[in-house]
Every structure is written in C-alpha cells, then in structure tokens.
Structure 1
C-alpha cells in the first residue's frame, strides 16, 4: 500500500527554492503542519522565508511566511 506523501517546499528571501533543510515525509497534512509549527523558528534561522505544504508534489495550501520578531 502506498501512503499519501505530504512534504514542505522551502523558499529563501530571494525566491529560490531550498534543498536544505530537508523536509520529512508525512502521511497526513495535520502532522506536516504540526511539525512546521514546532520547527518554524529553526527553519527561519536557516534562511527559510516561506514554506508551502505539498501533497504528492502539488501545493495544498498557500505559502506560510516564517518571521521571527
């Protein structure tokens, strides 16, 4: 059985898609969003400006801005 795959696309301040940090694979959107809620400050510190949740490679919701402060 193949499970659905949910991941994140990370973009920097210049609009470039980042390959690092790597995103885990999730089997549902709730877990993916919960993970982002727990790690967004770390991601922002690594240069991520926006994050978009992907379902099977397609955007499933609008991008989220990661801002500290």
Structure 2
C-alpha cells in the first residue's frame, strides 16, 4: 500500500506539489509528515489536502489553515 497526499487550492482545484512527492508505507507516517510540513505547504500556495491510499481517497479535503481547524 502507498499513502500519498493530493494538494489543492481553496476552491478544490489541484495544484502542483510544491515539495517532492512522497509515498508513505502507513497512514500514520503520511499524517505525521503533513503535521510537520503543513506550514511550508501553506506558504507555497496549498490550501487543503486529501489523503489517498493507492490512489483512492481516504479523507479530505483537509484545510491547512489553522483558523479552519475545529
């Protein structure tokens, strides 16, 4: 299984990854990575992300804006 992130603008349109695309062997590794890198992604124009497992959406979109966290 490969876990990856899909990055989007606020309107849901896809954006090119501003960082090298990574594949993770577990969901936890993918979630830890986004927890460590969300500020950089936001600074580079990513507003939200979707978690994919082997190309199938697991959840999202998840906002990277701190004021949207609930």
* Superimposed CA distance per residue, residues 41-65 of structure 1 (whole angstroms, 9 cap, x where no aligned partner): 0000011111011000011123210
Q: CA RMSD in A?
A: 1.4
Question: Which secondary structure state, in structure 2, belongs to the residue aligned with residue 15 of structure 1?
Answer: coil
Gap regions ≥5 residues in structure 1: none
Residue aligned with 1:61, SS: strand
Query: Which structure 2 segments of 5+ residues have no match?
Result: none
Q: Report Cα offsets for 1:1-42 as digits up to 9, x if no partner.
A: xxx110000001343201222431101100000000000000
TM-score by length of 1: 0.84
Q: Max radius of gyration: which structure?
A: 1
Q: TM-score, normalised by structure 2?
A: 0.83
Partners in 2 of 1:18 and 1:43 — Cα distance?
11
